[in-house]
Structure 1
Amino acid sequence: MNNQKGVVFPMVLIIASVFIMMLILMIDQFIIDKRFYKEVEESLVADHLVHLAVKEVTAGWEAEIPEVIEGHITYPNGVVRYSLLKQDGRYALIDFFSTTNNDRVGRVLIQYDKEAGRVVEWIEKQTS
């Protein structure tokens, strides 16, 4: 028993320290990834709400766009507000502003072609 040099205890401390540091790094990375995926999910929900609203608002326009377009559509995941910005000749510019239940905001401007009956330009705007 007197020939033990005290090597085992320091080795166990070193291995345990490395293991604990790796565990802390993995937990930290998991938390960062979780936040990122939540942000991506909210962004996709806001974008999807705008897509649904564009389909719903433009569905009834075969030949002519009403002079005054303004309103909102409520979905289970949020609300989309829309308004006609400009209408001249063949094209109309309509602004869609979505807000999810978790307050994520999305904004899209579309240019609608009255003669073709479809969206010809889709402009995503940054919101502050």
Structure 2
Amino acid sequence: MGNEKGFILPTTIIIMLLLSSFVIFQVSQYALEKKILSEEGELYTAERLLQMGVVDVLNILGSDNRENFSGNFYYEEGEVSFVVKKERNEMKSVRLISRTVAPKTKEFTFFYDVKTETVLPWLEER
């Protein structure tokens, strides 16, 4: 019992602290990545809803001659609300808002030329 300098116990404690901090860091990184992937999935779903809404609104615009109207489309992943307003003589603006099952929304506005029945570039809003 003459040599009790205590080398192994402090070294073991330091190694365990380093290992524990590394594991905690990795777990927090995993949780963050999981949250980001979930958010990206919701945004992708919101964009898909908007694309389906554009197709359905274009079908309505081709057959409906009203100047201003609004409505909703309900899909399995969420819903799309739209508002159509007459801007100029042969131009209508269409504002689409998608809401996913999880409360995530995305919206944009596009312009529709009634004479040529074409969609002009749209404005994406955050």
TM-score (norm 1): 0.85
TM-score (norm 2): 0.86
> Match for residue 66 of structure 1?
65
Unaligned runs of at least 5 residues, structure 1: none
Contact 1:112 1:119 in 2 (8 A): yes
1:10-43 Cα shifts (integer Å, max 9, x gaps): 1111111100001111111111222222122112
Q: How many corresponding residue pairs?
A: 125
1:1-128 alignment runs, 5 A limit: 2-3=2-3, 5-59=5-59, 61-62=61-62, 65-67=64-66, 68-126=68-126
CA drift of 1:94 comes to 0.8
1:51-107 Cα shifts (integer Å, max 9, x gaps): 111012203555x65214321110000011112122422221011111111111111
Distance 2:65 2:19 in 1: 67
Q: Whose helix fraction is larger, Structure 1's or Structure 2's?
A: 2
Distance 1:97 1:121 in 2: 17
Contact 1:65 1:114 in 2 (8 A): no
Q: Secondary structure at the match of 1:38?
A: helix
Going from structure 1 to structure 2, the CA distance change for 1:83 and 1:75 (only over 3 Å counts) comes to same
Distance 2:118 2:23 in 1: 53
Identity, in percent, stands at: 22
Contact 1:82 1:95 in 2 (8 A): yes
Distance 2:88 2:57 in 1: 19
**Equivalent residue letter for 1:66:** N
Distance 1:118 1:49 in 2: 20
